[in-house]
Structure 1
Amino acid sequence: MATVTLKGNEIHTLGNLPAQGSMAPNATLTKTDLSATSIADYKGKKVVLNIFPSIDTGTCAQSVRQFNEEAAELDNTVVLCISKDLPFAQTRFCGAEGIENVEMLSDFKDGNFGTSYGLSFSDGPLAPLHSRAVVVLNEQGNVLYTEQVPEIVDEPNYKAALEALMDA
């Protein structure tokens, strides 16, 4: 279990992020067109998992904007922005913001992704949403980098995540 804070108040996740060097857990998620996809479907590409509680918060929206901007410059890389938001809300946000370089995925159906990655909140006002985290995978699906953001209202370390991609 990881402990993070929400405006200084402790909250906990179900577990810990996958270990660096381990194979990323597979999980099924829902695309904005309501079709299913899985983490394994992205093997052969470098993958950035930008994970957050809800697209309808300022910090979450900014992380999608920032990775959208950065992703335009990356070769053989896909950025997957994952939350429990309904695909309709994700589509609305991307349309309004002109977001085209990231893929929005939802864990709303069964929460399997949040459970598999140990990042769903187990208590506090945001339970059972996802904590803010970044996980970077290589082309084989191995975990290169993880960040469990310690204060949920803070942005992730974009630079460290992108540097992990460059080192791969």
Structure 2
Amino acid sequence: MAQERTGAVTFKGNPLTLIGPELKAGDKAPNFTVNKNLLETVSLDDYAGKVKLISVVPSLDTGVCDAQTRRFNEEAAKLGDKVIVLTISVDLPFAQSRWCGAAGIDKVVTLSDYKNHSFGIAYGVLQKELHLLHRAIFVIDSNDTIQYVEYLPEMTEHPNYEAAIEAVKKLV
């Protein structure tokens, strides 16, 4: 049974329980399996040798998640080919694809953790009550060591975009 962190974060001031460990800079990045589309899965190993910025959002169809993904899409264009920017949510792959098309997202790779919550549990961002992923940012170096982590205390807040981008730039 995975660790539970009761009251670790809030949604509109209401406490939520996160399932999984609280990861820190210096930790080895846990592997995970998520869906790229309905039939194709990917794991951390598929991005070996790259610096990875993982942007975790509850749902692309909400204002903050939309803005967060658009911002990282803009930044991804400037970071070069040694960096991959992944946005992970529990939205179905169909919805992610439709949203990306409508929003013009072409640099960020959207991945879905809807099937077994492998990412959410491994990275300690699965909300027990809502079965959504809690907003967080992870920057992982090319050797799969976590270099930067931000778990947002309140789900409706924006992450520190500048700090995450700076953490990536230090690695390339």
Report the TM-score, using the length of structure 1 for normalisation. 0.94
Amino acid at match of 1:102: V
Q: Secondary structure at the match of 1:3?
A: strand
Aligned partner (choices 102, 105, 109) of residue 103 of structure 1: 109
CA distance in structure 1 between the aligned counterparts of 2:18 and 2:101, rounded to whole angstroms: 31
Quick one: distance in 1 between partners of 2:79 and 2:22?
Answer: 24
SS at match of 2:147: strand
The question of 1:157 aligning with 2:132 is answered: no
What is the alpha-carbon distance in structure 1 between the residues aligned to residue 167 and residue 128 of structure 2? 29
Counterpart residue number, 1:88: 94
1:37 to 31, 35, 42: 42
Aligned residues: 165
Q: CA deviation at 1:15?
A: 3.3
The correspondence of residues 3-152 of structure 1 with structure 2, limited to 5 A, is 3-32=8-37, 34-75=39-80, 76-123=82-129, 127-152=130-155
Aligned-partner residue type, residue 121 of structure 1: Q
Contact 2:79 2:169 in 1 (8 A): no
Q: What amino acid sits opposite 1:107 in the alignment?
A: D
Q: CA shift at 1:6, angstroms?
A: 1.1
Q: Residues 46-101 of structure 1, C-alpha deviation per residue, up to 9 Å, x if partnerless?
A: 00000011111111111110000010000211110000100000000000011001
Deviation (angstroms), 1:33: 6.1
Deviations 1:103-133 (A, max 9, x none): 000011111111111110123xxx2111000
> How far apart are the structure 1 equivalents of 2:155 and 2:61?
14
Distance in 1 of aligned mates of 2:35 and 2:119: 11
Question: Is 1:32–1:90's contact at 8 Å kept on the other side of the alignment?
Answer: no
Cα distance in 2 for partners of 1:34, 1:57 equals: 25
Q: Distance in 2 between matches of 1:25 and 1:69?
A: 27
In the alignment, structure 1 segments of 5+ residues that lack a partner are none
Q: Which ranges of 4 or more aligned residues in structure 1 deviate by more than 6 Å?
A: none
* SS of 2:119 mapped into structure 1: helix
Rounded Cα–Cα distance in structure 2 between residues aligned with 1:13 and 1:91:
27
Q: Please identify, of 14-23 and 90-99, the stretch whose mean Cα deviation from structure 2 is larger.
A: 14-23
